[in-house]
Amino acid sequence: MKGQGPPWVVGVDIGGTNLRVGRVPLEGGAPPVAVRRCHTRAASGSDRVLDRIVTMIRESVTDVGRENVAGIGLGAPGPLDTESGVVAETPNLGWRDYPLRDLVAEACGMPATLDNDANCFTYGEWWMGAGRGCRRLVGITLGTGIGGGIVIDGEIHRGASGGAGEVGHMSVDFRGRRCPCGARGCVEAYASGPAIAARAIEAIPDGGDSVLASIVDGDLGEITAEIVCAAATAGDRHAEGVLRDTARILATAVANLIHLLNPDAVVIGGGVANAGERLLRPLRREVRGRVFGTHMRACRIVRSELGDSAGVIGAAGVFRRAHLCRPR
Amino acid sequence: MKGQGPPWVVGVDIGGTNLRVGRVPLEGGAPPVAVRRCHTRAASGSDRVLDRIVTMIRESVTDVGRENVAGIGLGAPGPLDTESGVVAETPNLGWRDYPLRDLVAEACGMPATLDNDANCFTYGEWWMGAGRGCRRLVGITLGTGIGGGIVIDGEIHRGASGGAGEVGHMSVDFRGRRCPCGARGCVEAYASGPAIAARAIEAIPDGGDSVLASIVDGDLGEITAEIVCAAATAGDRHAEGVLRDTARILATAVANLIHLLNPDAVVIGGGVANAGERLLRPLRREVRGRVFGTHMRACRIVRSELGDSAGVIGAAGVFRRAHLCRPR
């Protein structure tokens, strides 16, 4: 680190549903971040979304004074190009070949970086969360989609075209369920939030002896992964079965990651991870049955420590790494 | 590299069937290696195997004079510990907690390193073969088992307990075929040499209209992956079907690797890779249908250039990296 630079970086986590912006201190242990949140309101158009991002950053900067902020780290859904700072395509947000990094940097008058949201999640957990001290860390975000990131020796492994860490499109059944990406058996086609809901709906017994249908008054389209979790917690066997299968399928993907990368930890976050130990306990059990003992003993499988702030902290961390760390 | 050190390293590739030993020049482009081969004859006992290894190394050293050899790189089937140079367990060779590296070093009077055979294969291809110049390389060996290695920025990614790169135990069907490792759907349970033969035998139609059965005079136990390939080349539809399925299953694993690591190249070697384009062409086609275009355009899927010598060259390369390269 430079000796006497500004003490803060602003981290921005741009999601399809929420925008999160927070100031992250460059030094110091725990993550004392003031994270603000607002709805992305993607339907209002890409310029409006950009305006909202810039406004939130400015507020965050004003609070401590410009001279105390080194720059801005942005995390956004991919595919995107880290080098040029351009979002190639984000259907949810209506961006296409959108030079997000430079637009934000110009509007705010300070340098910025851009990286993939799942990379930011993983880097955040490595820097200040459940993956602290890990030489090899894999992060998985379970939400509307399934994302992933790999941090090795403190560096995000981005790959040849910046697309590494696509855990969601790891296939766990070569003849399996069709994924919107075109392939078969992708873990995202089973274990993303919408996929969990879809599997629960498909499998509702004809007789209808699941509380799921009654929770939504028969309007099956209203079933979400959250409702499936709630029903399982309430003891509904059908919902329990769906969660058990989800754990088994996720475990296959996690076991594959462990065989391949032999990491020190796998950190799991995102909305679906709010199911907590109800999901993680059977997942760990299944992984243990699949991987070699030496791999398993070397690897913790844990829930995100930073929760909703992981993306903000990680985005700030990526800026710090790019602009403020000495080259090794 | 040191300026004026000895110009050679001896590389040793210890397989269940063959031992290969060769001198590898530390500098210079093409791999002009004199590789000698003998049968491992594992049944003769572990001491005899060690004797044979040491004898072959000595012959290789004598040819150029001791003063011209910097040391010995050993590659052996795992699991093994690179740091301590101990083979934890190799059922084929009867070794258990066997301090192979130090025994060889002492007997030959020069320093040695020990690494996993699939890591050596991949490192060899990165150093002098099909993976030259790749910042991120994945190697896959298709033989009696399926192994793998990952080289990132010129370093083997070994993982937290030295077990990274276990491509063979990536599951491509979470409910699939039982693997001897205990898990289900491991790619090794479908696409190793013995697994290809087993699948071909299982699927021989009751009527017996496959030339496979007649090639082995009805003794189905004699069917090997090589015979399946030969029958497919001769136009046998049943054998063609088995190879097609093999390509599809391997492609799922390769696509998973590409999604996860976004490498510059995947290099495929080992006995089963001798099927060449008959296997690689449908494999590439299937991978293309599974991965994102950006990932695919960044990645070549190619056959080993070094063939049977890759393990010898890679083992020598690992020694060179450990003992002769300047720390970065």
Indicate the pLDDT class of residue B51, thresholds 50, 70 and 90.
Answer: very high
Whole-number CA gyration radius for chain A? 20
State both tokens at B251: 């492609």
Residue of chain A nearest B177, judged by CA positions:
A173
| Model pLDDT, residue A27 | 81
Contact B290, B255 (CB under 8 A): yes
Per-residue pLDDT for B187 more than 50?
yes
Q: CA of A111 to nearest chain B CA: how many angstroms apart?
A: 28
Q: CB B152 to CB A157 under 8 A?
A: yes
Q: Which amino acid is at A325?
A: C
Rg of chain B over CA atoms, in angstroms?
A: 20
Whether the predicted pLDDT of B91 surpasses 90: no
Out of A212-216, B239-243, B299-303, least confident range = A212-216
Q: Say which residue, A139 or A272, is predicted with more confidence.
A: A139
Output the pLDDT for position B92. 74
CB contact under 8 A, B173 and A170: no
Q: If we measure between CA atoms, which residue out of B98, B78, B73 comes closest to residue B86? A: B98
> How does residue B57 score in pLDDT terms, banded at 50, 70 and 90?
very high
Q: What is the ipTM of this complex?
A: 0.94
The one-letter code for the residue type at B120 is C
- Rounded to the nearest 10°, the torsion over CA B177, A245, B244, B129 is -90
pLDDT at B198: 95
- Classify B97 in phi/psi space as left (phi over 0), alpha (psi -120 to 50) or beta: left
DSSP B129-148: STTTT-SEEEEEEESSSEEE
Note the pLDDT of residue A328: 47
For B60-87, what is each residue's pLDDT tens digit? 999 889 999 999 999 999 789 999 999 9
Q: CB within 8 A of A328, min separation 6: which ones?
A: none
* Residue B328 banded pLDDT, cuts 50, 70, 90: very low
The yes-or-no verdict on residue B94 having pLDDT over 70 is: yes
Pick among B173, B259, B285, B287 to test the A interface (most A CBs inside 10 A): B259
Residues of B with Cβ-Cβ distance to A171 under 8 angstroms: 172, 252, 255-256, 290
CA distance B13 to B57: 11
pLDDT bin (cut points 50, 70, 90) of residue A275 is confident
- Position B232 pLDDT exceeds 50: yes
Does the pLDDT of residue A1 top 80, yes or no? no
- Looking at residue B163, what is its pLDDT? 92
Position A46 scores a pLDDT of 83
A196: Cβ contacts below 8 Å, ≥ 6 apart: A190, A225, A228, A242, A243, A246, A272
Range from A102-111, B37-46, B172-181 carrying the lowest mean pLDDT: B37-46
Q: SS3 of B104, please?
A: helix
Q: What is the DSSP letter of B267?
A: E
Please report the pLDDT score of residue A28 as a whole number: 61
Token pair of A76 as six digits: 């956004």
The answer on pLDDT for B247 being more than 50 is yes
**In whole numbers, what is the pLDDT of chain A averaged over residues?**
91
The count of CB pairs under 8 A between chains A and B is 163
pLDDT band for position B32 (cuts 50, 70, 90) = low
Considering only the beta carbons, identify the residue of A160, A171, A299 that sits closest to B255: A171
pTM value is: 0.94
Handedness of CA A305, B152, B159, A323 (dihedral sign): negative
CB contact under 8 A, A169 and B292: yes
What pLDDT sits at residue B218? 85
What residues of chain A lie within 8 A of the CB of B248, using their CB?
174
CB contact under 8 A, A159 and B136: yes
pLDDT at residue A327, rounded to an integer: 52
Q: Check residue B315 and give its pLDDT.
A: 97
Mutation for A interface: B157, B188, B256, most A CBs within 10 A: B256
The model's confidence at residue B4, banded by pLDDT at 50, 70 and 90, is low
Please answer yes or no on whether A166 and B299 come within 8 Å at the CB atom.
no
Model pLDDT for residues B138-163, shown as the tens digit of each residue: 999 999 899 999 999 999 999 999 99
Average pLDDT of the residues in B124-131: 96
Average predicted confidence (pLDDT) for chain B: 91
Q: Report whether pLDDT(A4) > 90.
A: no
Which phi and psi angles does B98 have, rounded to 5°? -105, 120
**Tens digit of pLDDT for each residue in A102-116?**
999 999 999 999 999
- Distance separating alpha carbons of residues A138 and A150, to the nearest angstrom: 5
Contact B256 A171 (CB under 8 A): yes
Question: What length does chain B have?
Answer: 328
Question: Is the pLDDT assigned to residue B59 strictly greater than 60?
Answer: yes
- What the block records as the tokens of A93 is 């947000």
pLDDT mean over B6-31 = 86
